Amino acid sequence: MIARLFLALILLALAGCGRGGPDEGILARALGLPADVGGICGFDDMLGRELGDIGSGGACGIEDPVKVYAIGGVKLDSQPRINCRTATALRSWVTGPAQDAARDEGVLVTDLRVVAGYACRRRNNRPSGRLSEHAKGNAVDIAAFTLSDGTVVTVSDDWSGSDYSGLMRAFHRTACGPFGTVLGPKSDRFHQDHFHFDTAEYRSGPYCK
C-alpha cells in the first residue's frame, strides 16, 4: 500500500516535469536564453515560445506558431516564427545529420544564423507569382553556422573553394528528407548566400537543389 502511494507520488512529480521543467530552465540559462523559454512542439530539447495565431484567415499566416530559440543545445542567432511541423523537421536535421557531418570534421555546430522565418511575401520577394512558403510558416532560411572551435562558415563564402565546402554541401544534402524543399547556391540566383528549407508537400517527392 505504502509502496503504491510512493509510486503514484513519483509519477505525479515526473508528470510535472514535462513542459517548462527544471532541466529546460537550466539549459536555457546555459545558452543565455530568457529563463521563461521552454520545450515546444513536444520536445524538451527544443526551446522556444508558443505564440498566438498569426494572420486572420488571409493568405498569409500560421496556426499555432512557435518562436524557436535553441534546438538540442544549438542556439538560433535570430528566432524564426514557424509552425511545429517545420520546427520538428529543423530539429531532425540539426540534431541528426547536420551534427553528424560536423562531427566528421571534429567539431559540433553551436549556432545557426537564421535569416528568415515567417514573412508575408511572394516567392523570392518578387511583386507577383506564388506565395512563399515563408508566408505560411513552412520555411526557414539559414545563412551561416558557428562551429565549436569558433569558426563561422557561411553559405556565401564556404559553398565553393573553401576548406569547409564539403561540410557546407553535407549540411545542404542531408536537409533533403527532413525538408521537402532544399535550395542552395546551385538552385538559382536568389539562393547564393543562404539555404532555404521548407516543409511544403509535393506530389512528386522532395525537391532539393
- The contact mask relative to Zn ion for 150-189 (x = CB under 5 A, - = no) is ----------------------------------------
Q: Which is nearer to Zn ion, 21 or 55 (CB)?
A: 55
Closest to 20 (Cα-Cα) out of 10, 6, 34, 8 = 34
Q: How far is the CB of 136 from Zn ion (least distance, A)?
A: 12
Q: How far apart are CA 144 and CA 151, in angstroms?
A: 10
Question: What is the gyration radius of the CA atoms in the chain, in angstroms?
Answer: 19
Residues in contact with 35: Cβ distance below 8 Å, sequence separation at least 6, in sequence order: 25, 28, 29
Q: Work out whether 141 is an interface residue with Zn ion (CB under 5 A).
A: yes
Q: How far is the CB of 135 from Zn ion (least distance, A)?
A: 10
Cα 95 off chain centre by: 10
Cell triple for residue 148? 565549436
Q: How far is the CB of 20 from Zn ion (least distance, A)?
A: 31
Residue 187 DSSP label:
T
- Selected from 178, 180, 196, 208, the binder of Zn ion by CB under 5 A is 196
Q: Which is nearer to Zn ion, 82 or 139 (CB)?
A: 139
Interface residues with Zn ion (CB under 5 A)? 139, 141, 196
